[in-house]
A and B are shown apart, each in its own frame.
Chain A
Amino acid sequence: MKRFLAIAAMTCSLGAPIGAAAQTVLSVVDGEEVIAEFDRDALSQLETIEVVTDNDYVSEVTRFTGPLLRDMFTDPPLDRDDELHLTALNDYTVVIPASDAIDYDVILATHIDGKPMSVRSKGPIWVIYPMSDHSELSEASYNDRLIWQLAKVTRK
């Protein structure tokens, strides 16, 4: 599997045309080392949870499904002092404290109302904070952390 992913990553970096199923949608990087790469299938194999919340970019309370952000790092697990750099498809990056992922069920949503998210609807991965469950998260600064079209998570 790992080897397959590595090949997939290599082919992707070479810019060769590849099948949609094999396309890497998320890279997880620890420091300088790439520790995992997921295509849509691999991502859907992960254990997911559901977060029902609203935010500035949806018109009503919406059901998001996806794996927990903190589960991306297991060896060693996230430390409160870690920084997570979240990078989008368009190379836009935000830095969030790892404590966000530890304190709240921040998910890498892949499904919205049960349907997979396309690039056009902020997919394939949208970082979602459970804002409706924690009033302190409605603070404006958290809005900026809802990065969509997520492509890479880096721990620093």
Chain B
Amino acid sequence: MIRLAFRFRWVGAALVLFVLTITALSLSTLQSRLVDIRTGERSKSSWIVGQLEFEFLRFENALAAYIAGDADPDEVKLRFDILWSRLNILSAGTVADRMAAMQVDRAPLEAVGELLREQEARVMALEGPADEEARDILRAFSVLEGALHTLSLATVEASSEEAVRTRANLLRISNITLVLSACAVGALVLLAGIFFMDARQQRQMYNENVELLVKSRAAAEAKAQFVSVVNHELRTPLTSISGSLSLLRGGAVGSLEAPARKLVEIAYSNCSRLAALINDLLDLDKIEAGRVTIERRKCDLTALVREAIQANATYAVNEQVSLIETDIAEDVHVNGDPGRLMQVLNNLLSNAAKYSDHGGEVHVSLRRHGDKARIEVRDFGLGIPEEYQTRIFDKFQQVDSSDHRARGGTGLGLCIAKGIVESHGGRLGLQSEVSKGSLFTVELDLEDVNAPEQIRAEDTRAA
């Protein structure tokens, strides 16, 4: 449920946004309607019709005052003009449009217009003291009073209906806004809840991660401790065992009977294997922890390769394999740790010898290849099936475990070799075909190439 809520939190956010937008839009509509309402009362038809009625009565009043001798005819004419202007206002501009939209019976308006046109000449002709003419005009006007009042009432009625409609609209909009706001608030609360839970989960995950980190640090420490135990508590006694056996073999305590000698030989050889395994394990640990120390100095690779071939010659002879220098370039120098590089070469050469058929050959070459030095160790033995070619550089990997006992080795050598070569910024490559043999290639930057450090780093990554 909570996970589902997390997934939909953006949908929720979008929903809130949507609701808020709709609300904002409704409010802006509301505003325009309010502006409509604010459209001055004085430009409303009801006001203007009211004013017409007012001026109509005021004209009659002036006329009556004139008849009574209290006003002069100019006053009557001014009121007549004003009355006419009121009528004109109702027939031009938006006032006329509004009037038409109201659907009020406009017959009285037309009647007033008719009356004004009819009486104009008589009104304008008024001069001097009032006579029967003025009374006649007053009678003509008083006929329309009722109709004009009816129009005035009808217009007020229509205006108020319009106002009621507007108010109903306002009410509807405000209701919608209320509902939308409630929805928005609801959605916001929901969203806040989701984000709160999300935050809580994140915090929980963070705490778990911290715990894991602490645990993994503890594990790393335990491992380091184990390695140091292996180093001291395992290797130290092993060295003394191997030393004692070596003395026994060498006859330092008198010559041994043949069966005893055989047993000592077995013990010594297994002791050596065990020592090698421990050394490999410690090396591997260092490489993996990045603690392997590579002493970079100018180092003569040509000499190193030759030395490695010599050092492995005996082992090769034991395996009935010949190590052959095919093409050793002179004066190839690299920047590296001779001891570590020797370890790599020993591993590759002994592997090649180990996996060659009796009577086979191992070809060793050293060439310059662009700005690299390339060492190739080729055997013509079993070869490595394609599916093993990447795994072979992993820990404890040998191609065929049935082969393992026959040929010995810990399965750590290649892994260590690869680590050492890469620590040098070099690359250890492999090409192989089953039954045809394998070709291991070591590529290292030449010493005389002033390659910048980062190019080496890139090479390391590519490897």
Contacts and interface: CB of A to CB of B under 8 A. Distances in A.
A117 to B, nearest CB: 10
A120 B93 contact: no
Contacts of B58: 90
B38 A119 contact: no
Contact of B43 (A58, A59, A119, A143): A143
Interface string A115-137: 00011111000000000000000
Interface stretch (B6-14, B70-78, B222-230): B70-78
B84 interface: yes
Interface centre among B40, B43, B58, B88 (most CB of A within 10 A): B40
A64 B262 CA distance: 133
Interface in A44-65: 55-59
Contacts of B55: 90
A73 to B, nearest CB: 25
B71 A140 contact: no
Given A89-B78, A149-B82, A122 B39 contact: no
B95 A119 contact: no
Contact of A55 (B71, B88, B93): B93
B40 A140 contact: yes
A148 interface: yes
B35 A56 contact: no
A31 interface: no
Contacts of A120: 81, 84-85, 88
A58 B93 contact: yes
A148 B85 contact: yes
A144 interface: yes
Contacts of B279: none
Interface residues of B, number: 26
Contact of A59 (B42, B54, B92): B92
B130 to A, nearest CB: 14
A77 interface: no
Nearest to A140: B39
B150 interface: no
A121 B81 CA distance: 9
A141 B38 contact: yes
A76 interface: no
Interface in A1-21: 15-18
B85 A121 contact: yes
Contacts of A118: 81
A90 B82 contact: yes
Given A58-B92, A59-B93, A89-B78, A144 B40 contact: yes
A131 B58 CA distance: 32
B94 interface: yes
A144 B85 contact: no
Interface in B18-62: 35, 38-40, 42-43, 51, 54-55, 58
Contact of A140 (B38, B82, B89): B38
Contact of A119 (B72, B85, B92): B85
A10 to B, nearest CB: 16
Contacts of A139: 35
Given A90-B55, A148-B85, A15 B40 contact: no
A148 B78 CA distance: 14
B81 A17 contact: no
Contacts of B95: 56-57
Given A56-B94, A59-B93, A140-B43, A15 B85 contact: no
Given A15-B72, A58-B92, A90-B55, A144 B43 contact: yes
B376 to A, nearest CB: 87
Contacts of B89: 57, 122
Contacts of A55: 93
B39 to A, nearest CB: 4
Interface in A97-119: 118-119
Nearest to B77: A119
Nearest to B75: A15
A17 B74 contact: yes
Nearest to A148: B85
A141 B75 CA distance: 32
A107 B84 CA distance: 24
Nearest to A54: B93
A104 B289 CA distance: 83
A119 B82 contact: yes
Given A15-B72, A15-B75, A122-B89, 14 more contacts: A18-B74, A57-B92, A58-B93, A59-B96, A89-B78, A90-B58, A120-B84, A121-B85, A121-B88, A122-B88, A140-B35, A140-B38, A143-B42, A149-B82
28 contacts: A15-B72, A15-B75, A16-B72, A17-B72, A17-B74, A56-B95, A57-B93, A58-B92, A59-B92, A89-B78, A90-B82, A118-B81, A119-B81, A119-B84, A119-B85, A120-B81, A120-B88, A122-B89, A140-B35, A140-B38, A140-B39, A140-B40, A140-B43, A141-B40, A143-B42, A143-B43, A144-B40, A149-B82
Interface of A: 15-18, 55-59, 89-90, 118-122, 139-141, 143-144, 148-149
8 smallest beta-carbon distances between A and B, as pairs: A119-B81, A144-B40, A140-B39, A120-B84, A56-B94, A57-B93, A144-B42, A120-B85
